[in-house]
Structure 1
Amino acid sequence: MSLVGAGSVIVLTNPNNVRYSVLLLLGWMFISCSESELASDTDRLGLNYFPLEVGNYRIYDVVETKYTVLKTTVDIYELKESVADSSLNISGNLQYIIHRSTRADGTESWTLDSIWTAQKSTSIAVLTENNVPFVKLSFPIAHEREWDGNGLNALDSEFYWYNTELADTALSGVIYQDLVKVIQNDRGEDFLGFENKSEIFAPDIGMIIKESAILSYCQTACATEKEIQSGRELMMTLKEYGKE
């Protein structure tokens, strides 16, 4: 088949191929519409809050505090998460390889810290951290919707839920809107200690804030009330994102 352009008119030099050409054109239009509608549908579900594309990266400012009986240490550093590659896992599903690198500040080179994997479907988004899979998001995203974040691992059930009623947030001069907060644990405080874990996600970017605190208080011969005997606090805030 050959096509000859005449201005905006397409002239078929072989009339016998008219039916084939029309079907081809309709097929292309159907694919184009389907891809557009699919993107719109997945955005409505909330899949764009967990974007996965090779080359994407995020850099966080991190403050990590560790408590022991003997001392308290505070580490301040930068963490970079980059989608380095994609592959099929043993189940035949597409997974993305996440390289996590750290440095003290912008004057130093990145050092690879760990490699995680991530994948998502139209129902869940999974991040495998040090070989332990966690269900980070459940679709569709809806206020106060609940799911088991440990549903794919051997740990005790831990139910996460959404808070979609968040104000706009500014980080490093950028204002993030339409945010979704995943409360992973809000047991709060009692005489034994304090626990609180949450992550905040922005559309088409991913996680922008992570807060985690798991602390155990001294129970006997304590120097002060609510003296921290052991535990860890972590604060991560997004400072930069893009594609390499």
Structure 2
Amino acid sequence: MSCQERATSPLPDDSAYFPLEVGNYWTYQVSTETYLTANVPTKQSYQLQQKVSSSYQMNGQLVFIIDELTRPTNQSPWTLKSIRSLYKNRVEVIDQDNNSPIVKLAFPIAPSTSWNKNLYNTNPLSLLRYEAIVRPFISGKNRFDNTVTVLGTNDSTLVSQEKYLRVYARSIGCVYQEDRSLAFCQESPACLGTGAIQSGTTAKWVLIASDRFP
């Protein structure tokens, strides 16, 4: 049984928010913070590049190979981090990450469209939906005039905070993403509700270069 709400005949250009051609690349400035109990956060900043290195046909479906590379600064050489496959059709975009398929986007792009990103794996239900459709978005030094936002969990309570956010620009791809998974202090009544972080991680990706835009 599916938790998806989507039509079977999406607009032909919906997948333009996730372009895929051999040779495409996207370079991000990544910032992360890791919180451990009774410690200040460990911060990291590095560059990550996703590059479409090749493609092949499988059962009539065109599958793309994505090389993911990292480097500490733009003066450093790239180091291959991982390789995965990705494909899209008129219904969805599937990212095969660590042999666990994730539904990145579902079509049509509309406020009423929602989907379970873990539909094809055994992980718990995780619903995504669209908001801020065809809106301008500023990411770093770049302005993108036509974007859609994908929002997943976005909850904050006295004890935790969870956030999943992706912004896709038409004809370019993902230009920004943010993840948060934090646990707040509960060790004493004095710290409960203060927002003091006890453990967890945050990550932000900002697109800084791509062959898809000047």
The TM-score by the shorter chain falls in which range? 0.7 to 0.9
* CA displacement at 1:108 relative to structure 2: 0.3
- Listed one character per residue, the Cα deviations across residues 34-64 of structure 1 (whole Å, up to 9, x for unaligned) are xxxxxxx976450111111110000011101
Structure 2 SS opposite 1:178: strand
In the TM superposition, 1:2-81 aligns within 5 A as: 44-71=12-39, 72-81=41-50
Q: Whose Rg is larger?
A: 1
Q: Does 1:236 find its partner at 2:205?
A: yes
Q: TM-score of the superposition, structure 2-length normalised?
A: 0.86
* CA displacement at 1:217 relative to structure 2: 1.8
Q: Which amino acid aligns with 2:87?
A: Q
Match of 2:159 in 1: 192
Relative to its length, the structure with more strand (as a share) is 2
In the TM superposition, 1:193-208 aligns within 5 A as: 193-208=160-175
Match of 1:31 in 2: none
Relative to its length, the structure with more helix (as a share) is 1
Match of 2:3 in 1: none
Question: Would the aligned equivalents of 1:45 and 1:139 in 2 still touch at CA under 8 Å?
Answer: no
Q: Which amino acid aligns with 2:199?
A: S
Structure 2 SS opposite 1:47: helix
Change beyond 3 A, Cα 1:109–1:222: farther
In the TM superposition, 1:14-163 aligns within 5 A as: 44-71=12-39, 72-89=41-58, 93-163=61-131
Question: Would the aligned equivalents of 1:142 and 1:164 in 2 still touch at CA under 8 Å?
Answer: no
Structure 2 SS opposite 1:177: strand
Distance in structure 1 (CA, Å) of the matches to 2:196 and 2:138? 34
Q: TM-score of the superposition, structure 1-length normalised?
A: 0.76
* CA displacement at 1:222 relative to structure 2: 7.7
Question: Would the aligned equivalents of 2:107 and 2:113 in 1 still touch at CA under 8 Å?
Answer: no
Change beyond 3 A, Cα 1:227–1:234: same
Higher relative contact order (CA 8 A, sep 6+): 2
Q: Which amino acid aligns with 1:100?
A: E
Question: Would the aligned equivalents of 1:201 and 1:207 in 2 still touch at CA under 8 Å?
Answer: yes
Which range moved further: 133-142 or 222-231?
A: 222-231
Q: Which amino acid aligns with 1:160?
A: L
Change beyond 3 A, Cα 1:130–1:166: same
Q: How many residues align?
A: 201
Change beyond 3 A, Cα 1:223–1:98: farther
Unaligned stretches of 5+ in structure 2? 1-8
Q: Which amino acid aligns with 1:86?
A: S
* CA displacement at 1:239 relative to structure 2: 0.5
Distance in structure 2 (CA, Å) of the matches to 1:223 and 1:75? 30
* CA displacement at 1:223 relative to structure 2: 7.4
